[in-house]
Structure 1
Amino acid sequence: MQKTSDINVVETRRLPSPAELLAAEPKTEAQAEFIARTREEIQRLLFSADKRFLLIVGPCSIHDTAAGAEYARRLAALAREVADRVLIVMRVYFEKPRTAIGWKGLIMDPRLDGSHDIAAGLLAARRFLREVLDLGLPTATELLDPITPQYIADLICWSAIGARTTESQTHRQMASGLSMPLGFKNSTDGTLAAAINAIKAGSQPQTFLGIDTDGRASAIVTRGNPYCHIVLRGGAKGPNYSAAHIAEAAAALAKAGLSRSILVDCSHDNSAKKPERQAEVLREITRQLIAADTAVMGAMVESNLLPGNQPFPQPREKLRYGVSITDGCIGWETTESLIRELHAALAPRFA
């Protein structure tokens, strides 16, 4: 018989089921309680009268768990100092969307050598998330592959759907079943319609194809995620964090019958992809927050131990420690100074 399927498939590697991986690397009761409590805090901050500022900060991506752990230890100590005005959540990003080709993240290629040992990547991701949580530091990630949440979502406090996938029906359906607050980014062209439609879809019951915890193909039926919101990241026409842009986004959300909860991504097109300009963006939205009523509830910042980024691929032994291999980041010294500045600037809100 003429072959009509798997013509271009070279190999199929069996992965552990989600249940098997969760049993091999289980969360503790203390971790579960911390995740649930932090999710509730983020929900209150985004959708109620909590005046604290939500700051999601950390490496563009985790490629070296040792450097990531050092960053997490520093951030956890600083987070405790500013917790009265700023709720800090660490970016723990394991999946990277690609316009064409490139490294797709720790889960897909944990050894950074093209071997694509996904089973090892999933295990490394769970172990790293647990390490961060044990520091008392909430976790945030972008969920890209719709199967990934079955393996790691129980360890995530906040998640994002990126600009490239906000329009995807698959990701909107996935969002409807997730258990944490979730931000949809505006489209890469800067328009808001796709993100607003995504919030509507994600908040509604959905039925779609997926896998259960035993890895079996299943029809997934959800009740909808009521804690979806928008993330402004700029676009092809430039940034969208000015007071006028924020007011426009808030009006569009209200017109759609949605909560006026806005997070600003200080990176990407809002900083013209120049990491050092993230500080300018954060200062401006902080100024808006203090000066007048605004729908901005928080921000995202890409930060690492050392500033900038480095070319990749290259031999792993030649990589500089603590430097991003994806988007450029600000370094730790700048990060610490900026967070302390933010904390001080927010004082009038708590007077």
Structure 2
Amino acid sequence: MTQSNQQPISNLHIAAFDPMPTPEAIQAQLPLSAKAEATVSQGRAALINILDHKDPRPFVVVGPCSIHDPVAGLDYARRLKALADDVSDALMIVMRVYFEKPRTTVGWKGYINDPDMDDSFKVDAGMAKAREFLLAVNELGLPAGTEALDPISPQYLGDLIAWNAIGARTTESQTHREMSSGLSTPVGFKNGTNGDLTIAINAILSASRPHSFLGINSDGRVAIVRTKGNPYGHIVLRGGDGRPNYDTVSVTLAENAMTKAKLLPNVIVDCSHANSNKNPELQPLVMADVIGQIVAGNKNITGLMIESNLIAGNQPILADRSQMTYGCSVTDGCVNWDTTEQMIREAADRLRPILANRLG
């Protein structure tokens, strides 16, 4: 028998397959506490009541563009919890806890992928640290929302999430529509980066149906995941191609498109991204306009999103971490804490007198 001189044909561009702890192993290391479980359960129930129009309060997903420093992140969470309690009669607050960042080309992919921000890519450590952070936030009594980007991550973290977003770059993805159909939370689908609503509406319809696809189970074994479909998909308007879409005409067009598709016309407005022309200082103006629409009688705007941190703006990632500004974003620019508090308190003050009129 002659020996083959053929070159290998598999894994030609793979450098290594490093072992990763199973979801069950990381959950055993950082188990769900009774307090965290209650926060998740109550947060999801509140969101569902809002989306079913049984609760007249809008919800607000607010927090850093991305988590990169857990100490600053928990500092923010403690402040937000106190604020959330103060405005709970008018707004339901969810902390934005984003660990995964989709990149248009290249850049830091987030706390899970590269927790040390030095291209060491300690994904196993990042996943455990992400779970530890989510536990701490939920144990404060503050529900968490995140972007579902990697289809495997929900097996590790899904029990600590009250609300999921599917980003503008992935709303059209079959993988993310399938994943969303099995998520245990309400899911907000953003319109496309070009402002197109159709892909988000199609995503909501797709995710509402049962799907079968390849995934992993809690033991880390490859499995055929069979879902029931998620009835709580909704649209998130974030603007597109440099144009906003939070105005009354754009909101009405979104409502009409959803109604035509036989969907409950729940609309969430993202005050950031193209809606603020990527200028965080414009987010308060966007929010004030949207709250004005609710005060004027709109019953289908059921939530808002704000990118906010302790310090305004953003900063580059420096090799010397000690030279970086505490509580300042390393991804998109954010409004600072004082501005955030003012935005939310002013919105609550405007909403309190009219909330009873939103029911029925």
TM class by smaller structure: over 0.9
Aligned counterpart for 2:160 among listed residues 155, 164, 168: 155
User: 1:51–1:349: 8 Å Cα contact kept in structure 2?
Assistant: no
Distance 1:202 1:6, change over 3 A: same
Q: Distance in 2 between matches of 1:113 and 1:60?
A: 19
1:118 and 2:94 aligned: no
Kept in 1: contact 2:318–2:324 (CA 8 A): no
Q: Distance in 2 between matches of 1:43 and 1:226?
A: 10
Q: Is the 8 A contact 1:305 1:332 kept in 2?
A: yes
**Does the CA contact (< 8 Å) of 1:246 and 1:294 recur in 2?**
no
Aligned twin of 1:97 = 102
Partner AA of 1:161 in structure 2: I
- 2:177 alignment partner in structure 1: 172
Task: Please report how far the alpha carbon of residue 89 of structure 1 lies from its aligned counterpart in structure 2 after TM superposition.
Answer: 0.3
Partners in 2 of 1:257 and 1:219 — Cα distance? 30
* CA–CA distance in structure 1, aligned partners of residues 17 and 322 of structure 2: 30
The 10-residue stretch of structure 1 (11-20 or 291-300) with the greater mean CA deviation from structure 2: 291-300
- Distance, in Å, in 2 between the alignment partners of 1:56 and 1:29 is 23
Distance 1:57 1:265 in 2: 10
> In structure 2, what is the equivalent of residue 194 of structure 1?
199
Partner of 1:278: 283
Does residue 221 (structure 1) correspond to residue 226 (structure 2)? The answer is yes
| Aligned residue among 315, 326, 332 for 1:327 | 332
SS of the residue aligned with 1:26?
Answer: coil
Aligned positions of 1:187-266 closer than 5 A: 187-266=192-271
Q: Which amino acid aligns with 1:135?
A: L
Q: Would you say the 8 A contact 1:95–1:108 is kept in 2?
A: yes
Q: Contact 2:39–2:139 at 8 Å: present in 1 too?
A: no
What are structure 1's unaligned runs of at least 5 residues?
Answer: none
Quick check: which has more Rg, 1 or 2? 2
Aligned counterpart in structure 2 of residue 54 of structure 1, from 47, 52, 59:
59
The code of the aligned residue for 2:332 comes to D
2:344 counterpart (325, 331, 339): 339
Return the match for 1:312 from 307, 317, 333: 317
Structure 1 Cα separation of the partners of residues 65 and 111 of structure 2? 12
- AA paired with 1:340? R
Question: Is 1:349 the equivalent of 2:358?
Answer: no
- Residue 27 of structure 1: how far off its partner (Å): 0.4
What is the CA distance between 1:293 and its match in structure 2? 2.8
- What's the RMSD between the two structures over aligned residues? 1.0
Mapped partners of 1:313, 1:183: distance in 2: 33
Deviation at 1:28, TM superposition (A): 1.2
Partner of 1:106: 111
- CA gap 1:294/1:48 in 2 versus in 1, 3 angstroms: closer
SS at match of 2:92: strand
After TM superposition, give the deviation of residue 50 of structure 1 in Å.
1.1
Q: 1:303 maps to what in 2? A: 308
Query: Structure 2 CA distance, aligned partners of 1:302 and 1:89?
Result: 12
Report the AA paired with residue 95 of structure 2. Answer: M
Task: State how many pairs are aligned.
Answer: 351
Deviation at 1:119, TM superposition (A): 0.5
Q: Distance in 1 between matches of 2:258 and 2:341?
A: 33
Summarize the Cα distance change of 1:329–1:237 in structure 2 as closer, same or farther, 3 Å threshold: closer
Q: Secondary structure at the match of 2:74?
A: helix
- The residue type paired with residue 254 of structure 2 is A
Q: Give the secondary structure class of the aligned counterpart of 1:247.
A: helix
In structure 2, distance between residues paired with 1:52 and 1:161:
23
Matches of 2:330 and 2:298 in 1, distance apart?
38
- In percent, how many aligned pairs have the same letter? 50
Distance in 2 separating the partners of 1:224 and 1:315: 47
Q: Secondary structure at the match of 1:348?
A: coil
- What TM-score do you get using the length of structure 1 for normalisation? 0.98
The 2-side partners of 1:101 and 1:234 are apart by 23
Q: Note the alpha carbon deviations across 1:214-247, whole angstroms, 9 max, x for none.
A: 1111110000011111000000050000001000
User: What secondary structure sits across from 1:298 in the alignment?
Assistant: strand
The code of the aligned residue for 1:233 comes to R
Question: How far 1:46 moved relative to its partner?
Answer: 1.6
| Counterpart mapping for 1:7-46 below 5 A | 7-46=12-51
- SS of the residue aligned with 1:230? strand
Which stretches in structure 2 are left out of the alignment for 5+ residues?
A: 1-5
Deviations 1:17-50 (A, max 9, x none): 0111111111012321221121011011122231
Q: Determine the C-alpha separation between the residues in 1 that align with 2:259 and 2:243.
A: 23
Give the match's secondary structure for 2:146: strand
Deviation at 1:292, TM superposition (A): 2.1
SS in structure 1 of the partner of residue 342 of structure 2: helix
Provide the C-alpha distance between the structure 1 equivalents of 2:250 and 2:299, rounded to a whole number of angstroms: 11
The SS at the match of 2:109 is: coil
- Say which SS state the counterpart of residue 354 (structure 2) adopts: helix
SS state at 2:37 partner: helix
